[in-house]
Structure 1
């Protein structure tokens, strides 16, 4: 280990997390190999002295091993440059008024539950409440290995069709919300942001956050003048902490913007159609007149809308990643 390894504590911690993850991965494969070796020995003994009950136990022991191997094989598809990183997820209510704001909050709850199922840590950095219900926009960091690799499949416009609980006539409404997914690349890529390119405002926090909310101008709004990108953070207790988080969010957005430009230029040179807007409709949730969730890119679908909205998003993530990897997409 280099003498100055801990001189930058954040980078050192990132390296240690990466090292621990690799050690865990090696240990997992070694454990599988040891289990298979033991079962192979038992199988050889059973060939000499057959025992139906013992054979059934050996076969049953293979089931969790097979499931574990399938999960590890699936992880091989998460081989993008930043797939192992934490994810920064933003949700913005689209057209549809209060219904769209309610839909944005439903999506937030869905992804928080998804993260909880995966034992990922979440932290909401900015929460802009709707006037009557729901949320206009929200930004949350999801911390866990491969969080970005999984969630990059979710970027785009999500549509909800339902009987509106906010319509006195209880008519059917269509609502839209845009989901943005960015990798947390603060410790892995050097993005230079000049102080003169920043316009920074402070204001009082308006969301939940403890006793300090609404007492000091601790919330930070940061605008990157060359691109017009605006990020806000009102989660932390101090203005300094909120500035640091806002700068991290800005770096992630600038990196995502650069990636988008490169993809569009590559598509243009290939003569492919380039979508003009950022948000494209990727998935529709219908709860009236029937129940179905359908992904328009992979044709993955399910009739279990309650399960999906409670965080069961993995089948859609799996289908997207397999489709990108050229695998076979199975529908329910």
Structure 2
């Protein structure tokens, strides 16, 4: 981190325009790492023009992560591009990243694509990209006397919290708790507000969760839920809002692998979340154009035949696991 932080700071000082990206269909870590780094740079480099790039896909926790104006295509010229929490180019939100002058990659997924980054920090042994971002800005703070405030670490804490399954996933290690210990020392930080945000559900959320529990299929350790095309409309939830219920399928102690597929009426695709308790599933996700972690991956599929093919592959993987 020491060498990377030095090189990172040089790039920040060099460029006047900086654009920070995340992956498509963002989860808590994609948003937390992106917004945390954005806020840190805005506070400490007020003369720089810093923007967030996206695909106008922010509906989940929209009151916490305030929408920022998406940079125009012309704005990318001569800009430094920083891409957070994204393993491959197909997943980068806002394709205009290619128009930037230089790319920095910061990630914790297994590395499959460098997407032209001249500077990178990739460590798949870290629990989250937000954890890496905290180490980066904490190192810069110590060396350059820069500021870290509660707003920054609120974003990063939420990213760590969600990507570790509330610290239940195998990716959690001593580095995670070392970072958390430092976050808790930041003046104004209050973890209970973040927990309240994540653990408070609306009536329609609860009714939808009950629907998933009552309608998912489970056979010999493989759980699946494939939504009907009008399901989000029925529960008055957007496609983004109902993509975060995959964990519901993993509650059963009998479930080893889970597939959760939601139909997005606007894009006319299935958004698919995959989870596993032991066996790696990311290679299968990559085969269908997706990717992610060994035990948590995502895919977008247009053709239902491909979706059914994916289901069969996961069923086969689950059978092999049981032998």
Q: TM-score, normalised by structure 2?
A: 0.24
Larger RCO, structures 1/2 (Cα 8 Å, 6+ apart): 1
Bigger radius of gyration, 1 or 2?
1
The answer to which structure has the higher strand fraction is 1
TM-score (norm 1): 0.24
